[in-house]
Structure 1
């Protein structure tokens, strides 16, 4: 049975190492924590404009599709995530990216 999810679109800029970001880039399917309103949530990130297997380098801004578990979406995010809303991408307590929601 496929994973039931809800997908949003966002513009994300992954921070450079000098800005406190990752040393290496990320690939489609990356599961950085989607952080807003003081909480972290699993958000799988996919990059539709990148070639298959292409690494998104730190310092790059990309269009991303962020997928959330459908049940979690319905319980938590449905009224909280809005177009234009800023968010962070985190790994533990470290911020590795920042973004803006462009489509819900």
Structure 2
């Protein structure tokens, strides 16, 4: 089951992003905390392929979310990375996994 829903934007190549489009099932790293990168699987609503520079709504399922609880909220923007290289951003629109919701 997905952990979050997000508006996902990929940088164009001339903005420092990838050089090829991405497909549903893409598994980049995500900076969920200032000091914690984790892999997540993307699934895009009504799209199989996302062009660079495009924003799409979709879900992200993280690996081992129990390792970084209480770190996400609606409106938080997390970077999408390939190693240390930022290729896009995800703005959280829903948090499905309650253990990830930041407690106030």
TM-score by length of 1: 0.83
Q: What is the match of residue 67 of structure 2?
A: 75
Q: What is the match of residue 29 of structure 1?
A: 25
Instruction: Name stretches of at least 5 consecutive residues in structure 1 with no aligned partner.
Output: none
Q: Which runs of 4+ in 1 moved over 6 A?
A: none
Query: What displacement does 1:6 show?
Result: 4.4
Instruction: List aligned pairs for 1:1-104, cutoff 5 A.
Output: 5-36=1-32, 37-50=34-47, 54-69=48-63, 72-77=64-69, 79-104=70-95
Instruction: Name stretches of at least 5 consecutive residues in structure 2 with no aligned partner.
Output: 96-104
Instruction: Figure out how many residues of one structure are paired with residues of the other and give that number.
Output: 94
TM-score by length of 2: 0.83
Query: What displacement does 1:49 show?
Result: 2.1
Query: What displacement does 1:20 show?
Result: 0.5
